[in-house]
């Protein structure tokens, strides 16, 4: 049996990566009750609140150790919209939905997703499923002969 060409490996890697991406987007949408864009804004907000932390050095590197509220930094809706490449008004509407449902809170300087929101069973399950999907992606890439180094 002949080895796949570099072009074949590239196409296969692209298909496998697209499969992973679609699975991830589905989970993000499900986390936001079917609202994919709200889920993406939520995910970006969570990341922005803790982006200043070195997760490993700070000790907040595990599923069971989310960063506490006191170390989360608020992010402005303007900064959030810029980071996502979304119009300000679109981002503001999605953040307003999240505030109304308790997924984030307005504080001085912007909005924050409280630790209690992040530290729930649905998000933990989503992280575990995402890890399984990531392992599946790597396993399939290795099986296809794609060098991951």
Note the pLDDT of residue 1.
57
Task: Quick: pLDDT tens for 30-80.
Answer: 888 899 999 999 999 999 999 998 876 777 777 678 888 999 999 999 999
Q: Domain 32-115 belongs to what architecture?
A: Orthogonal Bundle (1.10)
Give the model's pLDDT for residue 134. Answer: 95
* 110 confidence band (pLDDT: 50, 70, 90): very high
Dihedrals φ, ψ of 91, to 5°?
A: -65, -45
Q: Domain residues of the chain, as ranges?
A: 32-115, 119-149
Distance separating alpha carbons of residues 96 and 148, to the nearest angstrom:
41
């Amino acid at each position: 049996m002949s080895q796949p060409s570099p072009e074949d490996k590239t196409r296969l890697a692209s298909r496998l990566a697209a499969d992973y991406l679609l699975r991830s987007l589905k989970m993000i949408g499900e986390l936001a009750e079917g609202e994919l864009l709200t889920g993406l804004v939520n995910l970006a907000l969570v990341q922005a609140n803790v982006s200043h932390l070195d997760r490993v050095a700070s000790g907040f590197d595990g599923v069971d150790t989310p960063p506490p509220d006191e170390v989360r930094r608020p992010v402005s809706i303007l900064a959030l919209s810029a980071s996502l490449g979304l119009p300000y008004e679109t981002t503001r509407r999605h953040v307003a939905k999240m505030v109304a449902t308790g997924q984030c809170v307005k504080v001085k300087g912007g909005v924050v997703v409280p630790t209690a929101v992040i530290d729930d069973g649905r998000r933990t399950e989503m992280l575990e499923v995402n890890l399984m999907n990531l392992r599946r992606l790597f396993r399939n890439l290795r099986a296809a002969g794609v060098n991951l180094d």
